[in-house]
């Protein structure tokens, strides 16, 4: 019997938390306060506590979070920002919104920013490194911070996929000068629309971020710098406050699914899970597996689709190879690891509302595909 397995199931997540979310929506709607206010401030305090940092500044989305973090740290026109060749393209867009220039470097075998590649790319024009914690795995932020400190540049962590992830006991977002977060609906902590935040340890930086997100305004009608219009609205903040209480539970469920997949696919002859870095505790935002080639990946996806299992590719095109990217941003570099992963990687369903029966069905389908190879 064919079972329908969606890649994500946001409706199921909502149904599981429906009473609290509906009450929250009603409270915000009845309050008449639809921009800023206590709901936003309350979520900012709660999210800061959850990340172990003293300050969180809510913004409109994760892309703006990158741009605002860079701008608040003094990065702008004519500055270069080193970013990994493998990420969702909004990482590049955030750098461009800050009016800086991206500079791509290759990733390691885990799909994460390679400190060796970063060190080779640190020209005098580089003012920042944006470290992306991809698929729920943390990059080696401490090693990247040492590189940055040695050269007097700043480190921003892109934590869009890393809510609750750690490496060597260090939480995502806890190392850099600032961390950018996305609460896009499919994230481990997802809003009911676009939303984001920047976290940091500096009160001065948090105050500047608060000004920049609100037109550069210090007091009402007093604008002291060129800013953005990028505010987290109270409805999303209130929904996120509800969902934040379930984040640890949902991450634990994702990790359990990941462990089930790990056990089933260990030593598999035709595919391999993307390796997790040493000492890492991923949040299993995604569960990517590697096939030998794009052709084998296409056949694998088609086989699972026939059995009702939805899969997605994260990501089919390396950022330097996107049509929107300028050749100068690659500076003659090659990106073999990023391109290899783009060519042969596919993500299996791993969201927290998958049942044990659904997980077992995915495993059996993969094993059935393997028997037919």
The secondary structure of the chain in percent helix, strand, coil, rounded to multiples of 5, reads: 40, 15, 40
Q: What is the dihedral of CA 101, 315, 195, 58, to 10 degrees?
A: -50
Give the residue with greater pLDDT, 91 vs 2. 91
Q: Could you give the domains of the chain?
A: 10-244 (3.40.640.10), 247-372 (3.90.1150.10)
Give me the pLDDT at residue 295, please.
Answer: 97
Q: Taking 80 as the threshold, does the pLDDT of residue 1 lie above it?
A: no
**Beta strands per DSSP E along 100-251:** 101-105, 126-132, 154-158, 166-167, 170-171, 178-182, 196-200, 217-219, 222-223
Contact 224, 326 (CB under 8 A): no
For all residues of the chain together, what is the average pLDDT? 97
Band of the pLDDT at 355, cuts 50, 70, 90? Answer: very high
Residue 32 has pLDDT above 90, yes or no: yes
The pLDDT, as a whole number, for residue 31 is 97
Provide, rounded to the nearest whole percent, the portion of the chain with pLDDT above 70: 100
Q: Give the count of beta carbons closer than 10 Å to the beta carbon of residue 305.
A: 11
CA distance 162 to 80: 25
Can you tell me the mean pLDDT for 266-284?
95
How crowded is residue 52: how many other Cβ atoms within 10 Å of its Cβ? 12
State the pLDDT confidence band at 373, using cuts at 50, 70 and 90.
confident
**Token pair 């090659």: residue:** 334
CB 66 within 8 A of CB 180: yes
């Amino acid at each position: 019997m064919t079972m329908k397995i969606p890649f994500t199931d946001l409706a199921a997540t909502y149904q599981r938390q429906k009473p609290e979310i509906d009450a929250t929506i009603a409270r915000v709607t009845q309050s008449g306060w639809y921009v800023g206010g206590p709901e936003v401030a309350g979520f900012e305090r709660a999210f800061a506590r959850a990340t172990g940092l003293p300050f969180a500044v809510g913004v409109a989305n994760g892309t703006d979070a990158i741009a605002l973090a860079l701008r608040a740290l003094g990065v702008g026109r004519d500055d270069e920002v080193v970013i990994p060749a493998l990420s969702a393209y909004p990482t590049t867009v955030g750098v461009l919104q800050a009016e800086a220039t991206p500079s791509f470097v290759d990733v390691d075998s885990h799909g994460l920013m390679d400190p060796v590649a970063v060190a080779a790319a640190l020209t005098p024009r580089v003012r920042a490194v944006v470290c992306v914690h991809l698929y729920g795995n943390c990059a080696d932020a401490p090693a990247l911070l040492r590189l940055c400190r040695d050269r007097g540049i700043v480190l921003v962590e892109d934590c869009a996929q890393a809510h609750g992830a750690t490496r060597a006991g260090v939480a995502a977002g806890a190392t850099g000068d600032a961390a950018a977060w996305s609460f896009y609906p499919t994230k481990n902590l997802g809003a009911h629309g676009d939303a984001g935040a920047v976290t940091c340890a500096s009160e001065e930086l948090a105050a500047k971020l608060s000004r920049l997100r609100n037109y550069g305004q210090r007091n009402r009608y007093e604008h002291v710098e060129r800013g953005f219009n990028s505010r987290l609205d109270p409805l999303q903040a209130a929904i996120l406050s509800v969902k934040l209480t379930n984040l640890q539970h949902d991450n634990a469920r994702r990790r359990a699914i990941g462990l089930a997949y790990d056990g089933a696919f260990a030593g598999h002859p035709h595919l391999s899970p993307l390796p997790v870095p040493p000492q890492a505790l991923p949040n299993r935002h995604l569960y990517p597996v590697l096939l030998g080639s794009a052709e084998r990946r296409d056949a694998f996806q088609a086989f699972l689709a026939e059995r009702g299992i939805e899969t997605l590719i994260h990501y089919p095109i390396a950022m330097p190879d996107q049509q929107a990217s300028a050749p100068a941003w690659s500076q003659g570099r090659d990106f073999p690891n990023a391109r290899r992963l783009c060519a042969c990687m596919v993500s299996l369903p791993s969201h927290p509302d998958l049942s044990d029966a659904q997980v077992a069905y995915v495993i059996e389908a993969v094993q059935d595909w393997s028997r037919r190879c």
